[in-house]
Amino acid sequence: MDVQTLTFIIVGASFALYIAIAIWARAGSTNDFYVAGGGVPPVMNGMATAADWMSAASFISMAGLISFMGYDGAVYLMGWTGGYVLLALCLAPYLRKFGKFTVPDFIGDRYYSQTARTVAVFCAIFVCFTYVAGQMRGVGVVFSRFLEVDIVSGVVIGMVIVFFYTVLGGMKGITYTQVAQYCVMIFAYIVPAVFISMMVTGHILPQTGFGATLADGSGVHMLQKLDNLSVELGFNEYTSGTKSTIDVFFITFALMVGTAGLPHVIVRFFTVPKVHDARKSAGYALAFIAILYTTAPSLAAFARVNMIETINGPEMTGTSYEEAPSWIKNWEQTGLIAFEDKNGDGKMFYSGDERNEMKVDRDIMVLANPEIANLPAWVIALVAAGGVAAALSTSAGLLLVISTSVSHDLLKRNFMPNITDKAELMYARLAAGVAIVIAGYFGINPPGFVAQVVAFAFGLAASSFFPAIIMGIFSKRMNDKGAIAGMISGIAFTAAYIIYFKFINPAANTPDNWWFGISPEGIGTLGMMVNFIVAFLVYKATDEAPEEIQELVESIRYPKGAGEASAH
């Protein structure tokens, strides 16, 4: 069978599975819809959290990014996993004990302020939309390449599927669907990595194969060869980066703190019945995430060696375009690979200097990798199914947060306090529907600045949510004025810096003009510090939090009496 048919079969079978699960686990109450009735076992919850966490960006783009960045790619690896540690140790246990559904709920109650709640709701919705638009785009890219439909149909198919099981199943349906998606995703990621690792170094585990000697008997280490190749072709040494140490430090920190503040992941910890179980599912989730995150850098290195060797040939003199392998021709159609025969010798050559004749988009590395390495057709189809699973699972989680924020935080807590449970559920579903349509629109017509907006979302979460939640837990006396002033100044500072360098004056976006050499990607760290300092100064100048709030904070610090997640 050809790749096309196999892709239809494998992606189709995985969809049938997700939909069947959504029907089986239909939500009956707001509790089921928002937090799965609080009754999901820790291992399952761990897998679902991992699926939620690992978006199309992790699955499709991350290894590609690392492949092109070398050592600097570590900012994503450490940033996204290290942020998880912060979340599991400093936030999750206490938010779980607090026992509300959403982050705006916590901020609103802890700082006894409707203003704080509303600010938090809008931040949450903005962060989620930014993400979900990217996910929809990811689905579109996968479909358009492998099903050979245009990108619009690809996005529409994705919208219909996500709509179906988010709206029908709510959190309960999503949780079990995400367990299935995690399994599909991780299998699809590991299989090609193991194949390639065995081909190149003879190691079954890509994690060790990555540092091993080559299987050709030359006794040269894989990474040594990659370093040599990179230098020869005018790139930086693969194992050392190009960013300054301070910038790597700040970007990693901003990503860590930003991810720890992501609303769709925090809400996961409310779906387990006990604090005890919340801790356990956090551990499982990171272990499941780590399987993909430790495979990604080795996949990145192998893919780079393979790609360079295929394009430049074993003698490093270039290979004839006429005889180019089919993956180059296939991806050329999508515009993600381009060849321009500058010296007119009819041969392709890839390098980091003026000899370069190829344009290779980094987003294709994971998807094209099995083709580059000549793996069997079913592996290529499997990778397509994995990419779709990654994009769908994250978009479903995000849509749920958007719909919860609208129906619960905005309508019930702000505008319509007397709303019935049933009506609230209806509004939640309606909001999810509207959100999908908007996300789909951005998936089809992506704003030209998706990458910039993503940096914006991380910076925003880092400089607003994270400090407010941390102070809310670890400082009993922090008051509403301090927290609000902190959030607003943190966001304003971060937003101003990013908007200036990314939108107003992109020409000035060079290390010489950055403050302390910190790029806009890393500025959220400084924004976070501004938030903490401003909050502390304002708090010092005003009254401390009232007695009952101090008691509330006291109560979330101890595990006893953590009941089921309840409405109020």
Please report how close the Cβ of residue 85 comes to another protein at its closest, in angstroms: 5
In this structure, what are the phi and psi dihedrals at residue 40, rounded to the nearest 5 degrees?
-105, 130
Return the number of the residue (26 or 362) whose C-beta is nearest another protein: 362
Residue 73 or 108 having the CB closest to another protein: 73
Q: State the residue for tokens 């199943």.
A: 169
Beta carbons within 10 angstroms of residue 417's beta carbon: 8
Report d(CA 89, CA 21) in Å as an integer: 32
CB of 3 to another protein, least distance (A): 31
**Nearest distance from residue 75's CB to another protein, in Å?**
9
> What sign does the dihedral 433-437-440-446 (CA atoms) show?
negative
How many Å is the Cα radius of gyration of the chain? 24
Q: Are 107 and 117 in contact (CB under 8 A)?
A: yes
> Which amino acid appears at position 272 of this protein?
V
- Pick the closer one to another protein by CB: 339 or 514: 514
Q: Give me the residues that bind another protein (CB under 8 A), please.
A: 66, 71, 73-74, 77-78, 81-82, 84-86, 88-90, 93, 207-208, 210-213, 221-223, 239-240, 245, 248-249, 252-253, 274-276, 279-280, 282-283, 286-287, 290, 293-294, 297, 557-560, 562
Of residues 64 and 138, the one with the C-beta less far from another protein: 64
Cα gap 342→350, rounded to integer Å? 12
Q: How far is the CB of 225 from another protein (least distance, A)?
A: 11
Size (the chain), residues:
568
By the 10 Å C-beta count (0-12 exposed, 13-18 middle, 19+ buried), 500 is classed as middle
Q: How far is CA 4 from CA 191, 323, 378, 385, in A?
A: 19, 22, 10, 12
- Collapsing DSSP to helix, strand or coil, 505 comes out as coil
Smaller CB distance to another protein: residue 274 or 355? 274
CB 51 within 8 A of CB 59: no
Least CB distance to another protein at residue 249 (A): 5
Cα 183 from chain centroid?
A: 17
Q: Among positive and negative, which fits the CA dihedral 433, 435, 439, 441?
A: positive
- Residue closer to another protein (CB basis): 311 or 562: 562
Smallest separation (angstroms) from another protein to the CB of 280 = 6
Of the pair 14, 519, the CB lying nearest another protein is at 519
Q: Which is nearer to another protein, 74 or 233 (CB)?
A: 74
Q: CB under 8 Å to 369, separation ≥6 — which residues? A: 63, 192, 196, 299, 302, 303, 306, 383
Minimum distance from CB of 366 to another protein (Å)?
16
> Minimum distance from CB of 531 to another protein (Å)?
19
